[in-house]
Amino acid sequence: MSFIRIWIHCVWGTKNREALFNKDNKAIIINHIKDNAKRKGIYIDCINGGNDHLHCLISLNPNESLSKTVQLIKGESSYWINKSNLVSTKFEWGDEYFAISVSESSIQAVREYIRNQEEHHKKKTWTEEYKEFIQNYNFDELRAKAL
């Protein structure tokens, strides 16, 4: 038997960064995502976000790729949100997402960061956070090299 623990901090937003979540529907959506992930064998350690995005700390399943895991979470939740009429318009997640590996020594800090999203976004918008992720993890440089 193999033992694998790969922690990934994922972030994805609503299409066009529309602010579609409020306190009530966000809690319902997060609970549904956690329940659905559990049924699919995806371990979500913690999940939270702002009114237009979510952060998720996942222990990656050795039988699934990161892209498949995120696709399962985003695709099913988008379908379910629309079916449940939880937002006033047709719901879609944006196409892109961030994914960053997390070391065991940083897990608690990432958990706190995700749990405190409401406080965090009183000081920093999703757009500011997005730009910070791009800069801090050299995503622009990686994207440029891929072109």
Domain that holds residue 133: 7-137
Largest CA distance in the chain: 47
Residue 106 lies in a domain: yes
Whether 19 is covered by a domain: the verdict is yes
Say yes or no to pLDDT of 143 above 90.
no
Let me know if residue 123 belongs to a domain. yes
Give me 61's structure tokens: 């399943």
Residue 144 is assigned to a structural domain of this protein: no
- Residue 64 has a pLDDT of 87
Tell me whether residue 142 is in a domain: no
Predicted confidence at residue 69, as pLDDT, reads: 96
- How many domains does the chain fold into? 1
Domain-embedded: residue 23 = yes
Q: Mean pLDDT over all residues of the chain?
A: 90
Residues 53, 50: Cα–Cα separation, whole Å: 5
Note the pLDDT tens digit of each residue in 46-58.
999 999 999 999 9
Predicted confidence (pLDDT) per residue in 116-131, tens digit: 998 888 888 878 888 8
CA–CA separation, 92 and 111 (whole Å): 26
Instruction: Give mean pLDDT, residues 81-102.
Output: 95
Q: Whole-prediction pTM value?
A: 0.88
Contact at 8 Å (CB) between 118 and 23? no
Is the pLDDT score of 23 beyond 60? yes
At residue 27, does pLDDT exceed 60? yes
Assign residue 108 the CATH number of its domain.
3.30.70.1290
Identify whether 78 is part of a domain. Answer: yes
Local confidence band at 142 (pLDDT 50, 70, 90 cut-offs): low
Specify the pLDDT at position 43: 95
**Which tops the pLDDT comparison, 4 or 26?**
26
| 73 falls within a domain | yes
* Distance from the first to the final alpha carbon of the chain: 40
